[in-house]
A and B are shown apart, each in its own frame.
Chain A
Amino acid sequence: MASHVGLVPPTPAPYKDNEPKAAEKIDYLNLPCPIPYEEIHREALMSLKPELFEGMRFDFTKGLNQKFSLSHSVFMGPMEVPSQATETIKIPTAHYEFGANFLDPKLMLFGRILTDGRLNARMKCDLTDNLSLKANAQLTNEPHMSHGMVNFDYKGKDFRTQFQLGNGALFGASYIQSVTPHLSLGSEVFWAGQHRKSGIGLAARYNNDKMVATGQVASTGMVALSYVQKVSEKVSLASDFMYNYMSRDVTASFGYDYILRQCRLRGKIDSNGCTAAFLEERLNMGLNFILSAEIDHWKKDYKFGFGLTVGE
């Protein structure tokens, strides 16, 4: 009797041992689709580069429909003018911007026009399930200052490719492939006819549930590395390192991103002696209060801004 009882237990045990092993085995034919090549630094950019501004900003978005909305935006404040001198030149400007958005699962149209005639237009159209066409343009009334770009994206099972055409004879192509469920590698090549430049770049991205690490190298001399760690549901920390081996320019920055119930606070500190913070506080449903601060101790440039965003 005792021997029979002793013989029964071993049989379920081998099944239990095999199950976790099967889950760990990587199915190389079923890898997830990687994120697009231009968004490879997405998490680091979201945390470290919020839309800092100086002055007063007021945005009102009116939704007329599930898909269609109009937006009105007023901005008053100093705008930086690029100058050769070390001192930054700021010119006080005020402008009103009218925008219209149309959002469909297959077609997205986004247009913004300013009082000085500048148009910022974006379009994304899904031609088929896997092929999509994106176009964006910044048009001005000044001659030779307008830019336009068209992208064709093809999404495969575990890869993505993109072909770009821009004005000024700009051609670019990029390809990114998932190599393991966590790692994806990609490369890009571009040729700019007007500036007589061409380049090739490589990128790699490793992510799991808790962290994202990316690296990018380009033949223009740029090396960019970033690391984002999701410490908890509400807190994530990010760091970024950019090195240009042609111009010997190095920038390192470290930042945090707190996503709380009523607000989102992002802060960062730079190796150029620049600290910045950006707060979006939700006062009510559809009403957001924004505070932005950027202090550059080295250049003695202090920027503070506040704003209100109404609408979804």
Chain B
Amino acid sequence: MNSKNLLEVTPKAHLLGLRFMVNRYKVSKVSGRSEASEERSTVKCLKDWSTWTMKKAKVITHYGFIPLVIIIGVNSEPKPTLSQLLTPF
């Protein structure tokens, strides 16, 4: 009986408005969560990928820098010979 009275008393527009708000809140919450999780996963993906490249670059530089300098030097003019590289004079 009370509920019937309430329905009669509250204006329809107000009820409609409330329902609309509830619907909108529900929809935005769901889409917001998926958007935020998508953004977070792309950022995480980017971070992971950049960390992986930095680690690989560090290992490559650590092992390859000095050989690279030697290769560039040996190929510059006038070309030094291998024996010249190894002897101390």
Contacts and interface: CB of A to CB of B under 8 A. Distances in A.
Contacts of A167: 54
B37 to A, nearest CB: 25
Residue among B69, B72, B78 with the highest chain A CB neighbour number at 10 A: B69
Contact of B66 (A72, A113, A148): A113
A102 B16 CA distance: 79
A3 to B, nearest CB: 76
A67 B69 contact: no
A306 B80 CA distance: 33
Contacts of A62: 88-89
A121 B72 contact: no
B69 A101 contact: yes
Interface stretch (B1-9, B23-31, B38-46, B57-65): B57-65
A137 interface: yes
Given A101-B69, A111-B65, A119-B66, A139 B76 contact: no
Interface string A59-87: 01010110111101000000000000000
Nearest to B68: A109
A100 B69 contact: yes
Given A62-B88, A146-B58, A67 B66 contact: no
Interface string A86-110: 0000000000001011101000011
A26 B65 CA distance: 48
B58 A139 contact: yes
A121 B61 contact: yes
B76 A137 contact: no
Grouping DSSP codes into helix (H, G, I), strand (E, B) and loop, the A interface class, with mixed when no group exceeds half, is: strand
- Main SS at interface, chain B: helix
Interface in B48-86: 54, 58, 61-62, 65-66, 68-70, 72-74, 76-78, 80, 84-85
Contacts, number: 56
Given A65-B80, A68-B80, A139 B62 contact: yes
Nearest to A109: B69
A148 B72 CA distance: 22
B62 A119 contact: yes
B77 to A, nearest CB: 8
Interface residues of B, number: 20
Nearest to A119: B62
B58 A109 contact: no
B84 A64 contact: yes
A119 B61 contact: yes
Given A60-B88, A62-B88, A139-B58, A68 B65 contact: no
Contacts of B78: 65
B66 A68 contact: no
Contact of A100 (B70, B76, B77): B70
B73 A102 contact: yes
Contact of A64 (B54, B61, B85): B85
Contacts of A139: 58, 61-62
A105 B3 CA distance: 90
Contacts of A67: 73, 76
Contact of B73 (A68, A117, A137): A68
Given A62-B89, A65-B78, A109-B72, 10 more contacts: A60-B88, A62-B88, A64-B85, A65-B73, A67-B76, A102-B69, A117-B62, A137-B61, A146-B58, A148-B58
7 contacts: A68-B76, A72-B88, A102-B76, A110-B69, A117-B62, A119-B66, A121-B65
